[in-house]
Amino acid sequence: MEKFAKIFFLALCMVAMAGCIRDKIEPCPPLTVTLEVTDKNWFNIDEVAAEGLAEPMDENLPFREFVQSLSYELIDVETGDPVASGVYDVTHDGQTETLSFDGALPFGQYELVVWGNVSSIPGKSSLSTDGVMLHEDGKWGADNVYHYAGILDYNYDSAFYSAGLERTVGCLLVEATELPSGMDFSIKDVDGVHGTVGKGFVYDVPESVHTELDWGADATSVKTETCLGPTPDGDDASLTIKFRDMDLYVEGETGWPYEIASDPVDITMERNRMTVIKYNYEADGFHIMILVNGQWEQMHQMGID
């Protein structure tokens, strides 16, 4: 009888201990990714700011001051199948954004692809494999598109990750001075910049971009900024700019007698870098300068002196 009581007591203890151990097992942590903005300022913003042509962004501003909308897709590396996706606007005032996935997601390797400031990709079925069009139909500047792509090894000990969003485009800043009075409209044509960017910053073939800007008032000087895709490695793009006095335009008249145009010049566009060109109009035409490493260098037709 005493032996039976001891066995019964030991059995109760084992059950109690098993219950305690089970109570201490925590649920699997969900895969969570904290998104940060890596490229809050252009790489060369300090030298451009030193010329009084731009101001650095405050790096403590909310996430949404840099990225207003997010598109993301989580892909199972083993199967290649997407397991989660979303498109939404960023509305809070925090400096980071958090993506948290279903706790039922199995452990394994996943690829996360994120686009910032791309609310949708018309005609594309997958955010991960198709490119983002930077210049719609070759017109206007690109959106300030951000991107991240990386592999996440999700397991019990590695469930929390940080990811930095980087710019996909560069900025063309043009300043024109000493223009004839009455000018109020400008046209820029850039030939030879990438028009599409894919996952992992893979850029597609170059294209031409045409932009027009109505200044809203007459001016003898003007400054414009346009986001553009980078130029292919080792190649340049061609930039031509025209200035018009739209007040003197006569409907039906051929040509633009109230227009001044520059000769084409070669420029290089880089991701997250400003290309700064200054056009000074004089009696013999435009004198064109480019800002290089904090110094102004003279440009000639299709090149730099």
How far is C-alpha 54 from the geometric centre of its chain's CA atoms?
18
Q: Which CATH number is correct for 170-304, 2.40.50, 3.90.1690, 3.30.70, 2.60.40?
A: 2.60.40
Q: Tens of pLDDT along the chain (305 residues)? A: 555 445 545 555 554 444 334 345 567 899 999 999 999 999 999 999 999 999 999 999 999 999 999 999 999 999 999 999 999 999 999 999 999 999 889 999 999 999 999 865 544 444 444 678 888 766 666 789 999 999 999 999 999 999 999 999 999 999 999 999 999 999 999 999 999 999 999 998 899 999 999 999 999 999 999 999 999 998 999 999 999 998 877 666 656 668 899 999 999 999 999 999 999 999 899 999 999 999 999 997 554 44
State residue 21's pLDDT score. Answer: 42
Phi, psi of 100 (to 5 degrees): -125, 125
C-alpha separations of 250 from 180, 181, 216, 257 in Å: 19, 18, 18, 10
Strand partners, 263: none
Looking at residue 23, what is its pLDDT?
47
What are the boundaries of each domain within the chain?
Answer: 32-167, 170-304
CATH classification of 32-167 is 2.60.40, yes or no? yes
| pLDDT single digits (tens) 26-48 | 678 999 999 999 999 999 999 99
Amino acid at 9: F
pLDDT, position 123 = 42
Task: Collapse the DSSP code of 246 into the 3-class scheme (helix H, G, I; strand E, B; otherwise coil) and give the result.
Answer: helix
CB neighbours of 209 closer than 8 A, spacing ≥ 6? 135, 138, 139, 140, 141, 188, 189, 190, 191, 193, 195, 228
**Length of the chain, in residues:** 305
CB-based contacts of 18, cutoff 8 Å, min separation 6: none
pLDDT recorded at residue 135: 85
- Give me the pLDDT at residue 305, please: 44
Residue 68 CB: number of other CB atoms within 10 A?
A: 15
Using the Cα atoms of residue 28, residue 96, residue 38 and residue 76 in order, give the sign of their dihedral. Answer: positive
32-167 and 170-304: identical CATH topology: yes
pTM, to two decimals: 0.84
CB atoms within 10 A of CB 286: 21
The H or E element that residue 146 is part of is: strand 146-154
pLDDT value, residue 254: 59
DSSP-assigned letter for residue 76: E
* pLDDT the model gives residue 42: 98
Q: Which of 145, 149, 130, 151 is nearest to 271 (CA)?
A: 145
Backbone angles phi, psi at 44, to 5 degrees: -105, 30
Residue 138 pLDDT:
63
